[in-house]
Structure 1
Amino acid sequence: MPLRAEDLPHVGQAGLAPMIDPATTALVVVDIQVDFAAPHGLLGRYGVDLSPAERAIDNCEKLVAAARGAGATVALMRVVTSPETDSRALRTLMARRGHPGGEAICRVENGGADYYRIFPEPGDVEIAKLLYDSFHGTDFDARLRARGIETVVICGLSTDCCVDQTARSAFHHDYNVFLVSDACAAYEPGLHESSLSAMEKNCVLLTTTEAVEAAWERAQTPESSI
C-alpha cells in the first residue's frame, strides 16, 4: 500500500496550542514564488502538474491569515538568483547530469523570483536565498533570535527540497520544528509522503492546517491568557 501522509504521526488540535505560542513562533513560508508555482513560471511552462502546489498554497494562505491574526511572526522565503550568483556546485551537478546550461530558475530579471499569491506585509521577515536551505548564507537565524523565536511552523514548496532542507537546518539551529503536512507539496508522486516520513522520524513534528488554525484561533480568545 502506498504511504499516505495522513497515516504518519501528527500532533492534533488538543495538544498543539501550548507548543506553538504565537509570541515565540514563526510561520515560515518556503518558496511560494512564480517559477515554482505559477502557471506562467518555469515549471508551469515545462508542463509540470502544479495542482498539488496550488492545493498546498491554499492552505498556506490560511496559515498566514491565522498567524497574522494571532500575532505570530510571518517569515517569507524566496530563491533569488542571477547568472552571477549561480552555485558552482549546482552548475557542476547539472552539467554532470547532461544539462550543461545549468538550471536558470527564480531569476530576478524575468520575474521568476517574484512572490506568488502570498505577499509580505510590514513587520514580516523576508529572506532571499541562493539555494535550498533558508539559513545558509542568510541572516535568518539572527532575525529570528532578535524576535525571541523558539519554534518554527513550516509550509511551502517543495517538500523534498527547500522545505526539507530548511526544516533540518532549523532543527540544527536548535529550533522546535513543526511541519504542516497538508500545506506542503512535491512535484512527483511519492516524494511528498516519503519526505514527510523521513523528517518526522528525525527532526520535525507533523501537524495540519486545521490544527494550527485552531491553536492560533484559541490564542486570540480572552480565556487563552488566563
Structure 2
Amino acid sequence: MARYWEWSNPFKIDPKETALIIVDMQKGFVDEGHCFFTPQAHEQIPLIADFKKFCNEVGIPVFMSVFAQDKDYHNDYYWFRNKERGLLNEDGSCKLRLGTDDCEMTKALESVGDDVVFTKYTYSCFSHTELETWLKKKRIRTVIICGTCTDWCVDSTIRDAYHKDYNVVVLADGVSTYPHAGAEPETWNTMLLDLWGEGFGRVVKAEEAKAEIKESLK
C-alpha cells in the first residue's frame, strides 16, 4: 500500500487562492500546565509559527480556531462527557470556557494583521462558524490545514473541507495528538496521514509546501 508521500499530486498550491487553517493551537492544548496539554502539539509550535509567518509574508490569509465551551455554547454530547474527561473545575464550570486562558492562542501564534481567530464548540472548523463565508469572500479554493488534535478536530476539518469541494493540503509535520483509545500519537498520525493522502487531499511537509509556494511566486 502506498504511503502518503507516494501519492500523485492532483493540484498545485496557488497562493492567490489559498488559505491557512490552524486548528486549536490554543493554550489549553499546547501550553504546559493547562487543562488538555498535548506534548506533541507543544513541540510543533515553532514549525507552525514559522509557517504562519511565511503565509503572512506572502499574503496567504490565516484563520485560527479556538475550541471553547460554555453553558449556552456547546455540543450536548461533549458537554455530557466533560466530567469523565477531566474538563470540569471544582465548582462544576468548564475549563475550556470562553474568556479563560485555556481559550487564548498560544503566544507564538498570536494574531497579526488580518489574521482571523474564531471560536467553535465542536470538532470541525466549519461547523457552526463563519469560516466558509470568509473563505468564499476571499475566493479561496485551497486550504492548508495543521494543528491539533489529529484524530479529532483536524480530521473533522479536513473531511468537511473535502466535502465542501476545497483542495486540501495537510502539513504532515504540523498535526499532533495524544495517547488514547488504545493507540499512541505516532500510530494515529501515521494512519490518518496515509488515509488523508489516499482519499482527502495532499499531505506534505511544511518546507515542501513553502518551496512549492515560493516557486509559484517567481
Q: TM-score range by the shorter chain?
A: 0.7 to 0.9
SS at match of 1:136: coil
TM alignment of 1:174-185, pairs within 5 A: 174-185=165-176
- Of 54-63 and 171-180, deviating more is 54-63
Please report the TM-score for the alignment, with normalisation by the length of structure 2: 0.84
Please give the residue correspondences for 1:186-225 in structure 2 after superposition, counting only pairs within 5 Å.
Answer: 186-188=177-179, 189=184, 190-220=187-217, 224=218
Aligned-residue RMSD, C-alpha: 2.7
**Which is richer in helix?**
1
Q: Tell me if the contact between 2:171 and 2:204 (Cα under 8 Å) persists in the aligned partners.
A: yes
Task: Please tell me whether the aligned partners of residues 159 and 192 of structure 1 are also in contact (alpha carbons under 8 angstroms).
Answer: yes
Indicate if the aligned counterparts of 2:87 and 2:96 stay in contact, CA closer than 8 A.
no
TM-score by length of 1: 0.81
How big is each residue's C-alpha offset from its partner over 1:25-81, in whole Å with a ceiling of 9 and x where there is no partner? 00111111011110031023xxx5x1x212322211121122112211111111122
SS of the residue corresponding to residue 54 of structure 1 reads helix
Residues of 2 paired with 1:105 and 1:11: CA distance? Answer: 41
Q: Of 104, 111, 117, which residue of structure 2 is paired with 1:126?
A: 117
CA distance in 2, matches of 1:92, 1:155: 28
- Can you give the 5+ residue segments of structure 2 that lack an aligned partner in the other structure? none
Contact 1:66/1:217 (8 A) holds in 2 = no
Deviation sequence 1:161-218 (CA, Å, 0-9, x none): 1110001001111100010110111112212222222222221210001101212333
Stretches of structure 1 lacking an aligned partner (at least 5 in a row): 1-6
Quick one: which of 33, 45, 64 aligns to 1:40? Answer: 33
Superposed counterparts of 1:66-85, under 5 Å:
66-85=54-73
Give the aligned length: 207
Please point out which of 127, 133, 140 is paired with 1:142. 133
